[in-house]
Amino acid sequence: MANRNRKRTTSGGYMIPVPFALFTVVISVFALGYLWLGIQSEELGRELKKLEASLTNLQKKRQYEEARWANVKAPREIEKALSMHHLSMTWPGDVQIVRMSSADIVEALAETESPRRLPAPIQRVAMND
C-alpha cells in the first residue's frame, strides 16, 4: 500500500481570527466616519464664517444706502437737484385742486367698479383629447 502524504500544506500566510478581523474592520469604519464628520464640520464652519462676513458687509452696505437715500430725499437736496436740472416746481393753484366730499368719492368708486364676470367656459381642443 502506498503511503499517504499527511503533510498539511498551508498557504504560507498568517491566519487572523475572524472576530478580531471583524472588530478591526468595524473600528476602522468608525474611525473613518469620525474623520469624515470632522472634515465636514470644519468645512461647514469655514462656509459659515464666510457667510457671516458677507452678512456684515451687506448690513453695512444697507445702512450706507439708507443714509444716502435719507440724504437724497431731504427737501434741501430735492431743491438742489431741481435747480441743477433747470426744473421749477410750484404749488398747485386753486383751479388745479379738485375737492370731493365723501359721497362723491363713494359714487366715483361705484362707477369705476366693473361687475364681476364669470370665467369663460373651457373649450375642448382636438389636441387635448
pLDDT in tens, 55-78: 999 999 999 999 999 999 999 999
Label residue 15 by pLDDT band (50, 70, 90). confident
Q: What is the band of 129 on the pLDDT scale with cuts at 50, 70, 90? A: very low
89's CB contacts (< 8 A; 6+ apart) are 82
Q: Is the pLDDT of residue 119 over 70?
A: no
CA-based R_g, the chain, Å: 42
CB atoms within 10 A of CB 37: 10
